Amino acid sequence: MSCHQRSASLPSSPDSTESKVEVEMQALKGCISSPLVTIDTMRDGLRRLGDIYGCIEEVMSLPSNQVGLSLPWQRKMVEEELDRSLVLVDLCNAMQDYLAELKMSLQELQLALKRGQEAAVQFKIESFVRLAKKAQKPFKKITARKTTAEGCRMVRLLAEAREMAVSLLESASRLLLKQIEVTNRSGWFLVSQRLQKRRVVCEEARLQTLERSVADIESGIESLFRRLIQSRVSLLNILSS
């Protein structure tokens, strides 16, 4: 879904537009809950959710919604949702930091592999797996805080998008860790036994695949993060107008 592609043909009815956003979110939920989900699915899911945030932002910018969100009884819910969204902002920042560390660790591992530094390879493999597991920690600190926002449909859409974003990030992180652990069990331990040239080439290919996976998730998070910040700015502008 691309809001920029559809913005010229947005329906005149805010209710119709909001309903389409809800349909898009349900479709995304179905897509990412599939047992066949992959890193590519997660990357595309993060980007699609970013587009959903963009569409919500466009709906919020409609004059009728700006007036509604500024009303005292809705304003309080908007402010509460802004506070909750800070958790998502922090989570995106943490994930970006972890992914940057993972990429650097992967590059160091590949370099040690090429140089035939057996002890260094084993050490870096263990460090890499520990780092991947460390990326799971932020999710343990997040408590599920469902928001119904009765009577304020726009805030409810924002709350649902936020909750989906947290779920997507956690699923993407777990999927990446699973790929790392499977790769570790299936091949890396052989490297420490004997650094044969053919084996090194094989392991380099595995590491390059992992590096692409990390980059894909990183790209999806960056896309979502930009949309999230834009959404927060729009809400703050509405509240200050």
Instruction: Say if 77 falls within a structural domain.
Output: yes
CA angle 35, 36, 40 (to 5 degrees): 130
H or E, element range at 212: helix 197-240
Q: Are 135 and 60 in contact (CB under 8 A)?
A: no
> What's the predicted TM-score (pTM) here?
0.80
Write out the residue range of the structural domain in which residue 129 sits. Answer: 14-29+37-240
Instruction: Say if 2 falls within a structural domain.
Output: no
Return the pLDDT at 161: 92
Q: How far apart are CA 24 and CA 74, in angstroms?
A: 24
Instruction: Say if 112 falls within a structural domain.
Output: yes
Nearest 10 degrees: Cα torsion 46, 48, 53, 58: 160
CA 80 vs. chain centroid, Å, equals 22
- Would you write out the chain's pLDDT as a tens digit for each of its 241 residues? 443 334 334 444 556 777 888 899 899 988 888 888 888 899 899 999 999 998 888 888 888 778 878 788 788 888 888 998 998 999 999 999 989 888 888 888 888 877 777 777 777 777 777 877 887 888 877 754 555 545 578 888 899 999 999 989 988 888 888 887 776 665 554 444 455 566 666 777 878 888 888 899 999 999 999 999 999 998 888 888 7
DSSP H stretches of helix in 33-70: 39-60, 63-70
Instruction: Say if 67 falls within a structural domain.
Output: yes
Give the number of domains in the chain: 1
Instruction: Say if 41 falls within a structural domain.
Output: yes
Q: How far apart are CA 112 and CA 114, in angstroms?
A: 6
Amino acid identity for residue 124 in this structure: K
Return the pLDDT at 5: 39
Return the pLDDT at 112: 80
Instruction: Say if 119 falls within a structural domain.
Output: yes
Instruction: Say if 23 falls within a structural domain.
Output: yes
Instruction: Say if 3 falls within a structural domain.
Output: no
Q: Are 41 and 217 in contact (CB under 8 A)?
A: no
